[in-house]
Amino acid sequence: MSWFDLTIKPMLAIKGKPFDSRDYIFEIKWDGTRCISFIDVKNKRLRLQNRRLLDIAYRYPEFDFHNSFCKSCILDGEIVVLKKGKPDFKLLQQREQIENRMKIEILSKKLPAIYAVFDILWVEGEGWVTERPLIERKKLLEGLVEGKNIMISEYVFEKGKLFFEKAIELGFEGVIGKRRDSIYTPGKRSNYWIKLKKKNSVDAAILGYMKGEGGREEFFGSLILGLYDGEQYIYIGRVGTGFDVKFMEWFTEISKAYLTDSCPFEETPVIKREVQWLKPYFVCEVEFLEVSSDKKLRAPVFKRMRFDKKPEECLVDQLE
Protein backbone atom coordinates (compact mmCIF):
# COMPACT_ATOMS: atom_id res chain seq x y z
CA MET A 1 0.00 0.00 0.00
CA SER A 2 1.37 3.43 -0.96
CA TRP A 3 1.49 6.45 1.33
CA PHE A 4 -1.47 7.95 -0.59
CA ASP A 5 -3.80 5.03 0.26
CA LEU A 6 -3.09 4.86 3.99
CA THR A 7 -5.70 5.62 6.65
CA ILE A 8 -4.38 7.76 9.50
CA LYS A 9 -6.26 8.60 12.67
CA PRO A 10 -5.57 12.23 13.66
CA MET A 11 -3.72 13.11 16.85
CA LEU A 12 -6.08 14.27 19.62
CA ALA A 13 -6.02 16.78 22.49
CA ILE A 14 -7.11 16.74 26.11
CA LYS A 15 -9.09 19.52 27.82
CA GLY A 16 -7.38 22.10 29.99
CA LYS A 17 -7.44 25.66 31.30
CA PRO A 18 -5.44 28.62 29.88
CA PHE A 19 -1.77 28.54 30.92
CA ASP A 20 1.65 29.96 30.08
CA SER A 21 4.64 27.73 29.35
CA ARG A 22 7.96 28.04 27.53
CA ASP A 23 7.52 24.41 26.47
CA TYR A 24 4.36 25.12 24.47
CA ILE A 25 3.21 27.03 21.41
CA PHE A 26 -0.39 28.23 21.09
CA GLU A 27 -2.61 28.46 18.02
CA ILE A 28 -6.27 29.06 17.19
CA LYS A 29 -8.69 26.18 17.70
CA TRP A 30 -10.41 26.14 14.33
CA ASP A 31 -14.16 25.48 14.47
CA GLY A 32 -14.41 23.14 11.48
CA THR A 33 -14.00 19.58 10.23
CA ARG A 34 -10.76 17.78 11.05
CA CYS A 35 -9.08 16.49 7.92
CA ILE A 36 -5.92 14.59 6.96
CA SER A 37 -5.03 15.55 3.37
CA PHE A 38 -3.04 13.34 0.98
CA ILE A 39 -1.61 15.50 -1.83
CA ASP A 40 -0.04 13.61 -4.76
CA VAL A 41 1.63 16.18 -7.02
CA LYS A 42 3.05 13.71 -9.56
CA ASN A 43 -0.25 11.99 -10.30
CA LYS A 44 -2.41 15.07 -9.60
CA ARG A 45 -4.50 13.37 -6.92
CA LEU A 46 -6.04 14.63 -3.70
CA ARG A 47 -7.63 12.66 -0.88
CA LEU A 48 -9.27 14.31 2.14
CA GLN A 49 -9.81 11.92 5.03
CA ASN A 50 -12.11 12.91 7.91
CA ARG A 51 -12.17 11.45 11.42
CA ARG A 52 -14.45 8.66 10.27
CA LEU A 53 -11.66 7.73 7.81
CA LEU A 54 -13.91 8.59 4.84
CA ASP A 55 -12.77 10.45 1.72
CA ILE A 56 -14.63 13.78 1.52
CA ALA A 57 -12.64 15.35 -1.36
CA TYR A 58 -15.73 15.29 -3.61
CA ARG A 59 -17.38 17.86 -1.30
CA TYR A 60 -14.69 20.46 -1.96
CA PRO A 61 -14.06 20.87 -5.71
CA GLU A 62 -12.44 24.25 -4.99
CA PHE A 63 -9.48 22.42 -3.40
CA ASP A 64 -6.92 21.82 -6.17
CA PHE A 65 -3.86 21.47 -3.94
CA HIS A 66 -2.29 18.83 -6.19
CA ASN A 67 -1.86 21.57 -8.80
CA SER A 68 -0.36 24.13 -6.41
CA PHE A 69 2.30 22.24 -4.45
CA CYS A 70 5.87 21.56 -5.49
CA LYS A 71 6.06 18.39 -3.35
CA SER A 72 3.69 15.58 -2.45
CA CYS A 73 2.82 15.46 1.23
CA ILE A 74 0.40 14.39 3.98
CA LEU A 75 -0.96 17.28 6.05
CA ASP A 76 -3.19 17.63 9.10
CA GLY A 77 -5.61 20.50 9.43
CA GLU A 78 -9.17 21.73 9.67
CA ILE A 79 -11.66 22.56 6.91
CA VAL A 80 -13.52 25.80 7.67
CA VAL A 81 -15.86 28.27 6.01
CA LEU A 82 -14.99 31.81 7.05
CA LYS A 83 -17.38 34.67 7.69
CA LYS A 84 -15.74 38.03 8.38
CA GLY A 85 -12.44 36.25 8.99
CA LYS A 86 -13.76 33.74 11.53
CA PRO A 87 -14.97 30.14 11.13
CA ASP A 88 -18.74 29.78 10.80
CA PHE A 89 -19.72 26.19 11.46
CA LYS A 90 -23.33 26.66 10.34
CA LEU A 91 -22.07 27.64 6.88
CA LEU A 92 -19.72 24.65 6.87
CA GLN A 93 -22.62 22.35 7.73
CA GLN A 94 -24.43 23.57 4.63
CA ARG A 95 -21.47 22.17 2.69
CA GLU A 96 -21.46 18.88 4.60
CA GLN A 97 -25.17 18.10 4.33
CA ILE A 98 -25.27 18.20 0.51
CA GLU A 99 -24.72 15.10 -1.66
CA ASN A 100 -25.97 16.37 -5.03
CA ARG A 101 -22.89 17.07 -7.22
CA MET A 102 -24.45 20.08 -8.93
CA LYS A 103 -25.36 21.69 -5.61
CA ILE A 104 -21.86 20.91 -4.29
CA GLU A 105 -20.37 22.77 -7.24
CA ILE A 106 -22.64 25.77 -6.68
CA LEU A 107 -21.88 25.95 -2.94
CA SER A 108 -18.14 25.66 -3.61
CA LYS A 109 -18.42 29.07 -5.27
CA LYS A 110 -21.03 30.57 -2.95
CA LEU A 111 -19.48 29.31 0.30
CA PRO A 112 -15.84 28.47 -0.51
CA ALA A 113 -13.97 26.51 2.15
CA ILE A 114 -10.46 27.04 3.50
CA TYR A 115 -8.06 24.34 4.67
CA ALA A 116 -6.23 25.58 7.77
CA VAL A 117 -3.04 23.47 8.01
CA PHE A 118 -1.30 22.97 11.34
CA ASP A 119 0.88 19.87 10.92
CA ILE A 120 2.73 17.70 8.42
CA LEU A 121 3.21 13.93 8.65
CA TRP A 122 5.01 12.97 5.45
CA VAL A 123 6.72 14.92 2.67
CA GLU A 124 8.38 13.92 -0.58
CA GLY A 125 12.16 13.79 -0.20
CA GLU A 126 12.01 13.57 3.61
CA GLY A 127 9.64 10.66 4.22
CA TRP A 128 7.80 10.33 7.53
CA VAL A 129 8.41 13.25 9.90
CA THR A 130 6.03 12.27 12.71
CA GLU A 131 8.94 11.48 15.05
CA ARG A 132 10.46 14.94 14.65
CA PRO A 133 9.67 17.68 17.21
CA LEU A 134 6.58 19.74 16.42
CA ILE A 135 8.56 22.95 15.96
CA GLU A 136 10.62 21.26 13.22
CA ARG A 137 7.45 20.06 11.50
CA LYS A 138 6.10 23.62 11.62
CA LYS A 139 9.23 24.85 9.82
CA LEU A 140 8.77 22.20 7.12
CA LEU A 141 5.35 23.70 6.36
CA GLU A 142 6.88 27.09 5.58
CA GLY A 143 7.22 27.51 1.83
CA LEU A 144 5.42 24.23 1.14
CA VAL A 145 1.80 25.28 1.63
CA GLU A 146 0.33 27.54 -1.04
CA GLY A 147 -2.95 28.10 -2.88
CA LYS A 148 -5.94 30.39 -2.47
CA ASN A 149 -7.99 27.88 -0.45
CA ILE A 150 -5.27 26.88 1.99
CA MET A 151 -3.43 28.62 4.82
CA ILE A 152 -0.96 27.83 7.60
CA SER A 153 -2.32 28.13 11.13
CA GLU A 154 -0.14 30.70 12.87
CA TYR A 155 1.06 30.35 16.45
CA VAL A 156 2.70 32.18 19.35
CA PHE A 157 5.25 31.04 21.93
CA GLU A 158 4.69 30.77 25.69
CA LYS A 159 1.90 33.38 26.19
CA GLY A 160 -1.07 31.02 26.33
CA LYS A 161 -3.26 33.05 28.71
CA LEU A 162 -3.00 36.29 26.75
CA PHE A 163 -3.44 34.52 23.42
CA PHE A 164 -6.56 32.78 24.75
CA GLU A 165 -8.06 36.08 25.94
CA LYS A 166 -7.43 37.77 22.59
CA ALA A 167 -8.79 34.79 20.64
CA ILE A 168 -12.04 34.83 22.64
CA GLU A 169 -12.34 38.61 22.24
CA LEU A 170 -12.08 38.18 18.46
CA GLY A 171 -14.83 35.57 18.45
CA PHE A 172 -12.88 32.31 18.13
CA GLU A 173 -14.01 29.28 20.15
CA GLY A 174 -10.68 28.69 21.83
CA VAL A 175 -6.98 27.85 21.58
CA ILE A 176 -4.80 24.73 21.34
CA GLY A 177 -1.57 24.53 23.34
CA LYS A 178 1.03 22.15 21.86
CA ARG A 179 4.37 21.02 23.26
CA ARG A 180 7.02 22.37 20.93
CA ASP A 181 9.10 19.17 21.22
CA SER A 182 6.17 16.75 20.82
CA ILE A 183 6.05 13.98 18.22
CA TYR A 184 2.89 13.24 16.21
CA THR A 185 0.98 10.32 17.75
CA PRO A 186 -1.86 9.21 15.41
CA GLY A 187 -5.16 8.49 17.16
CA LYS A 188 -3.77 9.16 20.63
CA ARG A 189 -4.87 11.77 23.17
CA SER A 190 -2.26 13.23 25.52
CA ASN A 191 -1.02 16.44 27.15
CA TYR A 192 1.15 17.02 24.08
CA TRP A 193 -1.91 18.90 22.81
CA ILE A 194 -4.26 20.74 25.20
CA LYS A 195 -7.47 22.41 24.04
CA LEU A 196 -8.55 25.55 25.89
CA LYS A 197 -12.18 26.50 25.29
CA LYS A 198 -14.43 29.31 26.48
CA LYS A 199 -17.39 27.08 27.35
CA ASN A 200 -17.96 23.56 28.61
CA SER A 201 -18.85 21.26 25.75
CA VAL A 202 -19.14 17.57 24.98
CA ASP A 203 -19.40 15.48 21.82
CA ALA A 204 -22.30 13.08 22.40
CA ALA A 205 -24.03 10.29 20.49
CA ILE A 206 -27.64 11.01 19.51
CA LEU A 207 -29.44 7.81 20.50
CA GLY A 208 -33.04 8.88 20.11
CA TYR A 209 -35.43 11.77 20.36
CA MET A 210 -38.47 12.76 22.36
CA LYS A 211 -41.53 13.31 20.17
CA GLY A 212 -42.39 16.97 19.58
CA GLU A 213 -45.49 18.86 20.63
CA GLY A 214 -47.12 22.11 19.52
CA GLY A 215 -44.95 23.87 16.95
CA ARG A 216 -42.59 20.88 16.90
CA GLU A 217 -45.25 18.22 16.48
CA GLU A 218 -43.95 17.31 12.99
CA PHE A 219 -40.35 17.08 14.20
CA PHE A 220 -38.84 16.27 17.60
CA GLY A 221 -38.93 17.91 21.01
CA SER A 222 -35.41 17.09 22.19
CA LEU A 223 -32.50 14.81 21.32
CA ILE A 224 -31.51 11.99 23.68
CA LEU A 225 -27.78 11.94 24.37
CA GLY A 226 -25.32 9.28 25.45
CA LEU A 227 -21.60 8.74 26.01
CA TYR A 228 -19.67 5.49 25.57
CA ASP A 229 -17.79 3.87 28.45
CA GLY A 230 -16.05 1.23 26.31
CA GLU A 231 -18.85 -1.33 26.67
CA GLN A 232 -22.15 0.52 26.62
CA TYR A 233 -23.77 3.93 26.28
CA ILE A 234 -24.45 6.03 29.37
CA TYR A 235 -27.46 8.35 29.33
CA ILE A 236 -26.45 11.98 30.00
CA GLY A 237 -29.75 13.75 29.38
CA ARG A 238 -31.60 15.54 26.59
CA VAL A 239 -31.03 18.74 24.63
CA GLY A 240 -34.02 20.70 23.35
CA THR A 241 -32.63 24.12 22.47
CA GLY A 242 -30.24 25.50 19.86
CA PHE A 243 -32.02 24.13 16.77
CA ASP A 244 -33.54 26.06 13.90
CA VAL A 245 -36.48 24.85 11.77
CA LYS A 246 -34.21 23.96 8.84
CA PHE A 247 -32.13 21.64 11.03
CA MET A 248 -35.21 20.00 12.57
CA GLU A 249 -36.64 19.30 9.11
CA TRP A 250 -33.33 17.87 7.92
CA PHE A 251 -32.68 15.68 10.97
CA THR A 252 -36.24 14.35 11.14
CA GLU A 253 -35.93 13.16 7.55
CA ILE A 254 -32.36 11.78 7.58
CA SER A 255 -32.77 9.95 10.90
CA LYS A 256 -35.59 7.76 9.49
CA ALA A 257 -33.01 5.30 8.16
CA TYR A 258 -31.72 4.71 11.71
CA LEU A 259 -34.97 4.17 13.63
CA THR A 260 -35.03 1.20 16.01
CA ASP A 261 -37.34 -0.27 18.65
CA SER A 262 -34.37 -1.20 20.85
CA CYS A 263 -33.20 1.13 23.61
CA PRO A 264 -29.42 1.63 23.19
CA PHE A 265 -28.89 2.03 26.95
CA GLU A 266 -28.52 -0.90 29.35
CA GLU A 267 -31.08 0.76 31.62
CA THR A 268 -33.94 2.57 29.89
CA PRO A 269 -33.96 6.19 31.11
CA VAL A 270 -37.16 7.59 32.60
CA ILE A 271 -38.56 10.01 30.01
CA LYS A 272 -42.16 11.12 30.45
CA ARG A 273 -42.97 11.83 26.80
CA GLU A 274 -43.03 9.34 23.89
CA VAL A 275 -39.56 8.40 22.67
CA GLN A 276 -38.17 7.19 19.35
CA TRP A 277 -34.81 5.37 19.66
CA LEU A 278 -32.07 5.60 17.05
CA LYS A 279 -29.22 3.27 16.16
CA PRO A 280 -25.82 4.78 17.10
CA TYR A 281 -24.72 6.83 14.11
CA PHE A 282 -25.16 10.56 14.71
CA VAL A 283 -22.91 12.73 16.86
CA CYS A 284 -23.45 16.31 18.00
CA GLU A 285 -21.59 18.87 20.08
CA VAL A 286 -23.49 20.28 23.05
CA GLU A 287 -22.53 23.16 25.32
CA PHE A 288 -23.61 22.99 28.96
CA LEU A 289 -23.37 24.80 32.30
CA GLU A 290 -22.17 21.92 34.48
CA VAL A 291 -22.46 18.18 35.11
CA SER A 292 -24.63 16.83 37.93
CA SER A 293 -23.43 14.18 40.37
CA ASP A 294 -25.26 11.48 38.35
CA LYS A 295 -23.52 12.57 35.11
CA LYS A 296 -26.40 14.52 33.57
CA LEU A 297 -25.79 17.75 31.63
CA ARG A 298 -27.29 20.89 33.12
CA ALA A 299 -28.64 23.60 30.79
CA PRO A 300 -27.45 21.88 27.58
CA VAL A 301 -27.61 23.75 24.25
CA PHE A 302 -27.16 22.11 20.85
CA LYS A 303 -24.22 23.62 18.99
CA ARG A 304 -23.62 21.53 15.85
CA MET A 305 -23.52 18.09 14.28
CA ARG A 306 -20.18 16.27 14.19
CA PHE A 307 -20.14 14.37 10.89
CA ASP A 308 -16.44 13.63 11.35
CA LYS A 309 -16.83 11.62 14.56
CA LYS A 310 -18.14 8.13 15.37
CA PRO A 311 -20.53 7.52 18.32
CA GLU A 312 -18.07 5.15 20.00
CA GLU A 313 -15.52 7.98 20.07
CA CYS A 314 -17.83 9.96 22.37
CA LEU A 315 -16.29 8.69 25.59
CA VAL A 316 -17.69 9.32 29.06
CA ASP A 317 -14.33 10.65 30.29
CA GLN A 318 -15.16 13.94 28.54
CA LEU A 319 -17.15 14.77 31.69
CA GLU A 320 -14.13 14.41 34.00
pLDDT tens-place string over residues 207-229: 999 987 777 878 888 999 999 98
pLDDT band for 30, please (50, 70, 90 cuts): very high
**Does 290 or 237 have the greater pLDDT score?**
237
Mean local confidence (pLDDT), 293-306: 90
* Main-chain phi, psi angles of 85, to 5 degrees: 85, 0
Q: Which of 245, 207, 246 is nearest to 223 (CA)?
A: 207
Q: Domain 7-197 class? A: alpha beta
| CA distances to 80, 136, 202, 215 from 306, in Å | 13, 31, 11, 26
Residue 143: pLDDT band by 50, 70, 90 thresholds?
Answer: confident
Q: Is the pLDDT of residue 279 over 90?
A: yes
- Cα separation, 320 vs 312, in Å, equals 17
All CATH 3.30.470.30 domain ranges of the chain, comma separated, are: 7-197
What is the average per-residue pLDDT within 157-181?
Answer: 95
Model pLDDT, residue 216: 80
Task: Give the number of other CB atoms < 10 A from CB of residue 216.
Answer: 17
pTM above 0.75, yes or no: yes
**What kind and span of H or E run contains 192?**
strand 189-197
pLDDT at 11: 96
As a whole number, mean pLDDT of residues 260-268 equals 89
HSE value, Cβ hemisphere, 13 Å, CA-based, for 43: 10
What integer is the mean pLDDT of 104-126?
A: 94
Query: Mean pLDDT lowest for which of 4-8, 36-40, 62-66?
Result: 62-66
* Residue type for position 171: G
The CATH code belonging to domain 200-319 is 2.40.50.140
Residue 178 pLDDT greater than 90, yes or no: yes
- Band (89; pLDDT cuts 50, 70, 90): confident
Specify the pLDDT at position 290.
Answer: 84
Name the residue type at position 38: F
Contacts of 2 (CB under 8 A, 6+ apart): none
**Which of 109, 115, 148, 113 lies closest to 34 in space, CA to CA?**
115
Any idea of the CA torsion for 67, 69, 70, 74, to the nearest 10 degrees? -120
Above 80 in pLDDT, residue 320?
Answer: no
Distance CA(130)–CA(229), nearest Å, equals 30
- Average pLDDT over every residue of 270-274: 80
Q: Where are the domain boundaries for CATH 2.40.50.140 in the chain?
A: 200-319
**In 3D, which of 55, 69, 67 has the Cα closest to residue 8?**
55
